[in-house]
Amino acid sequence: ECVAILNNDTEVDKKWLSESTKVITMDDKIATVGSKVLFKDGRIQSTGQSEFPYHYWGDRGLSEPDVQQYDKIQPVPSISNCSALYRREALNDVGFFDEDFNMYMEDVDICLRLRNKNWKIFYAPDSKVYHRLHGSGQDPKERTFYIERNRLLFIAKHFPEELAANIAGYGEISKLSSERFHELLIAVFNKLIKHQGLDKAQKIFLTLNQDIRKIFNYSKHILQNEKDKELNNAIKAKDGYISEKEKQLADSTA
């Protein structure tokens, strides 16, 4: 009747599953229940997810000490798939995870689809797991790419008219390499076609041209700044080395 999702780099409390089951059976309209996800040192990683500006999402309570401030069973807009229990009936109703996301935002996407069909999302504080965050050792640049790409895939799927206003986000997209940036744009265009149709996808993408150009120009600006910093650091290091050699020569001649 239920399907449990659990990351492979976790350790579970002995009541992990029973507490999630207890909450999901409180109401036939509860579609999914998220656990309290903790770091190994006991700090909070997630007690559900909250929406930020530009359609970013983050874990509620991230890095806070766990002092029972999130110990209430309650509805939340989204839960982390690090540890979640889903009602099979609800999955059959809205469909399974959207595999276009690959990693990140697939939990936010399915929770939105569930809420749109009047299913409920709950958090179970006594269902606890301990998680080694990014335990797979993912490269930070790769992680940034997938976060930015999937945020835009989410917008393209659910809020296509908001793409132009949100494409730049917090600016992290400008730090992508040109190859990754073009890969991201292709993925977004394909997502628009898949969910909005070709005609609407082309119209929406035309409105993004100016914003894409601005992001690309800013990306070149950031890259040049980084090169300038590296050059200045190299010059300073060389100057320091020469000065030290000169000082030694002066000391020896004295």
- Each residue's pLDDT, cut to its tens digit, for the chain (254 residues) gives 999 999 999 999 999 999 999 999 999 999 999 999 999 999 999 999 999 999 999 999 999 999 999 999 999 999 999 999 999 999 999 999 999 998 899 999 999 999 999 999 999 999 999 998 655 556 888 999 999 999 999 999 999 999 999 999 998 998 888 899 999 999 999 999 999 999 999 999 888 888 888 887 777 666 666 666 766 777 766 666 555 555 555 565 55
Rounded Cα distance, 64 and 114, in Å: 28
Q: Please give the Cα distance from 3 to 32 (Å, whole number).
A: 9
Q: How many degrees, rounded to 5, is the angle at CA 155 between CA 152 and CA 161?
A: 120
Closest CA to 96 of 107, 83, 104, 82: 107
Query: What residue spans of 9-66 are helical by DSSP H?
Result: 16-24
The residue whose two tokens read 């007690």 is: 47
Beta bridge partners of 6: 83
Distance between CA 251 and CA 254 in Å, rounded?
A: 5
- CA Rg, the chain, in Å? 24
Query: Global pTM?
Result: 0.84
